[in-house]
Structure 1
Amino acid sequence: MKKKVLFTLALIVSTVFFTLKAQNWNEIINATASDTAADDWFGYSVAIDGDYAIVGAPYNDDASLNSGSAYIFVRSGGSWIEQVKLTASDAAANDQFGRSVAIDGDYAIVGAYYNDDNGSGSGSAYVFMRSGGSWTEQAKLTASDAAVNMFSVSVAIDGDYAIIGALINDDSW
């Protein structure tokens, strides 16, 4: 147990930004959320696109125990500044919103793979859209054949396309 706590504090509570200059990667900031706590697992998932980055904290307890959250950071000059904290509109205990994250342009997608709307552990993914400095939830995605499959264990987005992984999908069994 003590080893787990040390791991959490050392690796999960902050997110380190790097930049490439003259063929060398240099640390530019060690970021934390404005309200992070050790057991939030801030930095469990990360993604970056241009001047925007998203960081997942799947064990954040703001809405309920382990409901999760994700943070959007924006680059301003040489700094990364927290712009907004995202949570699911229907957040519930143990959803782990923020377990997977992706960002592309004005869109971000956040996985909540223990969301149980379509059965225990069926999972879901939330799409957010940026307008100016605001991010608004646009859609909640679930699998058409949802079951206990941890839909959204991984997420990616590019333009008008999103792809969502399901860890325990048994369609081909």
Structure 2
Amino acid sequence: MADDTWVEQAQISADDIYQGYEFGGAVDIDGDTAVIGAIGGAKGAAYVFELEDGIWTQQAKLIDLPTDSSAQFGNSVAISGDTLVVGAPGDDEPETDSGSVFVYTRSDKVWTKQTQLTPSGRIYTLASNRFGESVSINDDKIYVGASGDWTTNGTDSGAVYVFGLSGSTWTEEQRLNASDGSEGDKFGKALSVFNGTLVIGAPYHDGNGTDSGAAYVFVRDTDDEWYEETKLVASDGVSSDNFGWSVGAGEDLAM
């Protein structure tokens, strides 16, 4: 941006994309590193690009589900420093569309898989959870949306899982649900975190009519626990708006 005007800097494409690859379905950037998801390939992929001397160059192509053609690896991506997170909500292990999330770390420009995240201590089936539908990373915490989760508020009510880093191990710390969640809301379809504010979309919530949608704002307390602060709906919301399909969090801002 120059003089408050945005100017196109570059058009980025992968070395091996082709029609139907859906390159750009998910994107994130941190500093001079960008990560781009492409779920339309045979198995899905996440591409990492680095800005050097004003030129974006492909640094890596990550593929980690060679036997699952419907895993949607790259459906969601997030990066912070030398840690990269990739969601695969269609992963069929252990059950159909149970989903999983892959964490990579970078050393000397080489990305290596650190771990694979799945929900722990589940009472109900994992099938159709779509864990990894959305992901974010901030302050040594990984946030994972599971829009099909039904452990609390019914089928497809959704949930968001919070993982914390201790040493080199990611451990599930909390599972978040909407206080008024109900079947089919798909809470966790989208999420965004900024410091102590977490915004979570539930685009099929029926508050202003069928599938009008809602977004929930969570804040972090002094014990590092997240709690729901408020629920957002459109002032003119009507059926099928799907408010909350995408969300963003910033300094004193939610959208």
Q: Which residue in the other structure is 1:32 paired with?
A: 118
Q: Which residue of 2 aligns with 1:167?
A: none
More strand by share: 1
SS of the residue 2:132 aligns to: coil
Do structure 1's residue 155 and structure 2's residue 243 form an aligned pair? no
2:180 equivalent among 56, 70, 90 = 90
The residue number in structure 2 matching 1:55 is 144
Unaligned runs of 5+ in 2: 1-68, 73-89
Percent of pairs with identical residues = 35
1:105 aligns with 2:170: no
How far apart in 2 are the matches of 1:99 and 1:25? Answer: 27
1:72 to 146, 159, 162: 162
**Conserved 8 A contact 2:103-2:114:** yes
Q: Describe how 1:109-128 pairs up with structure 2 within 5 A.
A: 109-128=199-218
Distance 1:26 1:100, change over 3 A: same
The CA distance in 2 between the partners of 1:81 and 1:114, in whole Å, is 29
TM-superposition CA deviations, 1:105-127 (whole Å, max 9, x none): 11211110000101111100111
SS of residue paired to 1:114: coil
Provide the rounded CA distance (Å) in 1 between the counterparts of 2:224 and 2:139: 15
Amino acid at match of 1:16: F
With structure 2 as the length reference, what TM-score do the two structures score?
0.59
Name the one with the larger helix percent.
1
- Give the letter for the 1:143 counterpart: A
Task: Name the stretch that deviates more: 36-45 or 106-115.
Answer: 36-45
What is residue 139 of structure 1 aligned with on the other side?
230
Q: Tell me, yes or no, if the aligned pair for 1:88 and 1:97 is still in contact at 8 Å.
A: yes
CA contact (8 A) 2:199 2:216 kept: yes
Question: Of the two structures, which has the highest relative contact order with CA contacts closer than 8 Å and spacing of 6 or more?
Answer: 1
Q: 1:78 to 1:120 in 2, by over 3 A?
A: same
Could you tell me which runs of 5 or more consecutive residues in structure 1 were left unpaired when the two chains were aligned: 164-173
Contact 2:98 2:126 (C-alpha < 8 Å) held by counterparts: no
Task: Give 3-state SS (helix, strand or coil) of 1:108's partner.
Answer: strand
Correspondent of 1:43 among 113, 132, 137: 132
Q: CA RMSD for the aligned pairs?
A: 2.0
Find the structure with the greater CA-based Rg: 2
Aligned pair in 2 of structure 1 residues 115, 49: CA closer, same or farther (>3 Å)? same
What TM-score do you get using the length of structure 1 for normalisation? 0.86
Could you tell me how far 1:159 is from its partner in structure 2? 2.1
Q: Counterpart of 1:171?
A: none
Task: Judge conservation of contact 1:67–1:91 (CA < 8 Å) in 2.
Answer: yes
Q: Distance in 1 between matches of 2:198 and 2:118?
A: 19
